[in-house]
Structure 1
């Protein structure tokens, strides 16, 4: 299991194995390899812990622990974790500031605790089966365990089509869960995981008259199905997020194979809980959109797909200075008109930056980072791409409708055809990458 994620820590490997737990840690050292080797223990060696990432406020925490009589052997940030737990129990996680995934085991209480940082910079996933728990920084480590099956999670597949990407706790593997940002869980051998939220983004309610003005300005949605979907998902029938979901359900129905289509009501990701709906009540539209982006786009898509997996594949760590908990908590209280002034985005940030950054950079128009997409790949006449999208392959896998995929291949391969990413969905790119996933993990063809 540790070898499967050796790229995340090529500098050293540490183990702790006893009759109940087995911990393995692969370390990417920033400041030397000696003092920070893990797993770490408390003075009694009854609490063993591993921490990935960095605890930013460890100096303050270390001083607190020393004042309370704890003996710490190193100046490493990760050593504070077992001692914090010893002092504060499971609430220790609320005192951490940083980007981290933490796991620990209390031998005396026979209690395992796992936690992911506030914004989900650092991943943590697990699978629970038969009273046992298997965990890892990446799913590929979990899948190395002989006890873990790996069928496709069709709701996860539907999330990839419908949303910016997967949304924790869902993954592409049925039964494997990703710990959501700001979330912790505990587990006792023979039991089941108990999950709780220790932090969430909190915006103040919008001014009542502002809500009325915005509702009047927005007008009504003519499609009653779409209005019901928006009200149920986003807390307002006039609130638009990404796309017309009623119409896109029909698009997905055409793309899925007949057996999968028969289960569309069951696997439709919008029919499953995505966010805490109560958190959206009474919010200004800008804050509503911001909250949804933090939950549906930031952690698993931007920080995970485009961040953590990319840098750690090359054994590199990265930092996000704007994802500071105190900074984010403060900015949640800043009025929306200082964040978006008219049509000028990042207004407040630009005012702060003018004294530090050249004006041409501050005033530069925002632009996205987009790759050419599947139309470009199809027009390369690459035999490997053609094989992955061939009628024979699509029929054999059983997840998608071969006729529909064939039509998309012809359409996408037309000279001059382009997809306006990110405003239009590259359906074939998802089909392509999903087929590669099936091959990489030897996943089974769909069986009803």
Structure 2
């Protein structure tokens, strides 16, 4: 993993400012502390910071075509680069390094943008084609690698993280109110929306071409589940188990390719345990580090997964690293997380995530494998089990239900699809939270007034596939592999890799009958069958639960000065984003003896407000206007 940034001035006589490009790159040096480069050619400039993982001595970027007319920087990994390299060498191309991403230059020369359908990886790159006078950018299928941009009047600015783009003097820090509305409504912002008015995010599975000072974005891949009339044939359960096993092993093997030590995160649950078990199956002799968060002193002993973590570590003989987590220095840790996430938070668990990568860095581990993506692909949440029971049991609908149907039809294209909550009812809560200033323009940024996804992708699909698609688009890309994943690993110069997010694996998994995903109310049934070869039965059969980090009720009871300041009446009023009277009522409610929130059913409204106010401080955001 690395960090990329750049400037494309629309006036070809205006030379890209090298000083600004260096400042942009320096702002994301945590993504690439090993080396840095700045390339300027007239009105175009590219910045790069490197985290050395493959071909340590010769993999420095930018990469060029033989005639220097194409220049490219890339953040990420191309996992099938060896196969692609052999293919291009057979066509007469000569490679200068053993670095995986060099293949992108030659693939572009041979196939143009169509090569995106040939690569398997996690990537975000920018390629400047001088002959055709265009800038070509792309982001991987699932959005593992971030890529943001600001399309201004005089220039196009891009970067791996928003903080790089904010270094350009023409980019404002004004809040996009739709970004704020989305964080209350969905698991995360939905690309292209961000928290900043000037900054957009390139969507997963999309590429962008800037030519003649005009930007065009296009989709090259999307998760496309079969329609309800799809013929799954008479294939046996064993067929699916064997093929899924082979593809997952291949995916893990791809992600073990590195010229530096590789470790893995170990939660004690099924998904991370499978990854660890498969790593040992593939390589019987290599030493692997495993990293776990444990909570030995918590009152709720159920959340301490130490027993299961140690069980898997002993089975695969990993060098196990336990981080006994304590919530001291909470404020500074939370500010760090917000700085790297570039977003307010809906919960504080990211503090645990950044602690994991901090330990990996201390152990000199630059690459970690993680289990994200399995829940969204194989049905690991409660909703997958209960959708089938709801189907066909709609019954009588009163006026409130009919209003909710209208909202769901707008969001999902299906009035009967229930994602997390009653959105129309919650709309009133949001409006009560917002200041009178924001409510004056609420219709302009109300995220319930437009589709949250491409309706065509869930129309006519099985209810399992509908939920999986929505989870992929709303929960996975913008949240679990963004502020939980990429940002928290690279905050400490560590690259996260995700074997469940492999395009070949997912293209097969989408053909598995839903009846094998959830069977007899058992979630992830088919995945558990594969896991039997690698994971102790105690882990496979244990009940799934989610750890809940301390939220705003806990913080209010500490009566800390920093919490009181962030939620003070005067501060809330002067900033102009929220209604100070509503915040006061919430503070009283959350502070009552015995008051508890029950995630995921109850949303912690005040933690969003509190971390939004931290976000304002961290990024020097102006008051609402």
TM-score range normalised by the length of the shorter chain = over 0.9
Q: CA deviation at 1:374?
A: 1.0
Q: Does 1:116 align with 2:139?
A: yes
Q: Could you tell me which of 334, 341, 350 is aligned with 2:512?
A: 334
Q: CA deviation at 1:272?
A: 2.9
Kindly report which structure 2 residues correspond to 1:426-441, keeping only aligned pairs within 5 A, or say none: 426-441=604-619
Aligned residue in 2 for 1:283: 461
Q: CA deviation at 1:212?
A: 12
In 2 relative to 1, CA 239–72 (structure 1 residues): closer, same or farther, beyond 3 Å?
A: same
Q: CA deviation at 1:192?
A: 2.3
Q: Does 1:402 align with 2:580?
A: yes
> How many equivalent pairs are there?
444
Distance across 2 between alignment mates of 1:396 and 1:33: 51
- Structure 1 residues 248-257 or 274-283, which shifts more? 274-283
Q: Is the 1:131–1:192 Cα contact (8 Å) retained in structure 2? A: no
- Structure 1 residues 11-20 or 304-313, which shifts more? 11-20
Structure 1 unaligned residues grouped into runs of 5+: none
Distance across 1 between alignment mates of 2:565 and 2:89: 62
Aligned residue in 2 for 1:216: 392
- Structure 1 residues 154-163 or 335-344, which shifts more? 335-344
2:151 is paired with a residue whose SS is strand
Q: Does 1:187 align with 2:210?
A: yes
Kindly report which structure 2 residues correspond to 1:155-304, keeping only aligned pairs within 5 A, or say none: 155-188=178-211, 191-207=213-229, 215-222=391-398, 223-304=401-482
Q: 1:346-405, CA deviations, whole angstroms, 9 ceiling, x for partnerless residues?
A: 000001111221000100111113211111111111101100100000000000000000
Q: Could you tell me which of 295, 315, 319 is aligned with 2:493?
A: 315
Q: Is the 2:54–2:98 Cα contact (8 Å) retained in structure 1? A: no
Q: Is the 2:192–2:202 Cα contact (8 Å) retained in structure 1? A: yes
Q: 1:142-171, CA deviations, whole angstroms, 9 ceiling, x for partnerless residues?
A: 000112112100000000000001111100
Aligned residue in 1 for 2:503: 325
Q: 1:44-92, CA deviations, whole angstroms, 9 ceiling, x for partnerless residues?
A: 1110011111000111111111111111111110111111111111222
Q: Does 1:52 align with 2:230?
A: no
Structure 2 unaligned residues grouped into runs of 5+: 1-23, 231-386
Distance across 1 between alignment mates of 2:588 and 2:41: 58
Q: Is the 2:412–2:452 Cα contact (8 Å) retained in structure 1? A: no
Q: Is the 2:54–2:99 Cα contact (8 Å) retained in structure 1? A: no
CA-based RMSD: 1.6
Q: Could you tell me which of 566, 584, 605 is aligned with 1:388?
A: 566
Distance across 1 between alignment mates of 2:87 and 2:116: 15
In 2 relative to 1, CA 214–246 (structure 1 residues): closer, same or farther, beyond 3 Å?
A: closer
Q: Does 1:70 align with 2:93?
A: yes
Q: Does 1:363 align with 2:548?
A: no
In 2 relative to 1, CA 268–55 (structure 1 residues): closer, same or farther, beyond 3 Å?
A: same
Aligned residue in 2 for 1:2: 25
1:16 is paired with a residue whose SS is strand
In 2 relative to 1, CA 158–295 (structure 1 residues): closer, same or farther, beyond 3 Å?
A: same
Q: Is the 1:101–1:117 Cα contact (8 Å) retained in structure 2? A: yes
2:466 is paired with a residue whose SS is helix
Distance across 2 between alignment mates of 1:235 and 1:13: 46
1:187 is paired with a residue whose SS is strand
1:133 is paired with a residue whose SS is strand
Aligned residue in 2 for 1:37: 60
Distance across 1 between alignment mates of 2:530 and 2:470: 26
Q: Is the 1:131–1:191 Cα contact (8 Å) retained in structure 2? A: no
1:26 is paired with a residue whose SS is strand
Q: Is the 2:54–2:100 Cα contact (8 Å) retained in structure 1? A: no
Q: CA deviation at 1:221?
A: 4.0
Q: CA deviation at 1:219?
A: 3.2
- Structure 1 residues 93-102 or 104-113, which shifts more? 93-102
> Does 1 or 2 have the higher relative contact order (CA < 8 Å, sep 6+)?
2
Q: CA deviation at 1:102?
A: 1.2
Distance across 2 between alignment mates of 1:80 and 1:231: 44
Aligned residue in 1 for 2:109: 86
Q: Is the 2:411–2:450 Cα contact (8 Å) retained in structure 1? A: no
1:379 is paired with a residue whose SS is helix
Q: Is the 1:219–1:238 Cα contact (8 Å) retained in structure 2? A: no
Q: Is the 2:149–2:158 Cα contact (8 Å) retained in structure 1? A: yes
TM-score, length-normalised on structure 2?
0.69
2:200 is paired with a residue whose SS is strand
2:533 is paired with a residue whose SS is coil
Distance across 2 between alignment mates of 1:220 and 1:48: 61
1:420 is paired with a residue whose SS is coil
Q: CA deviation at 1:220?
A: 4.8
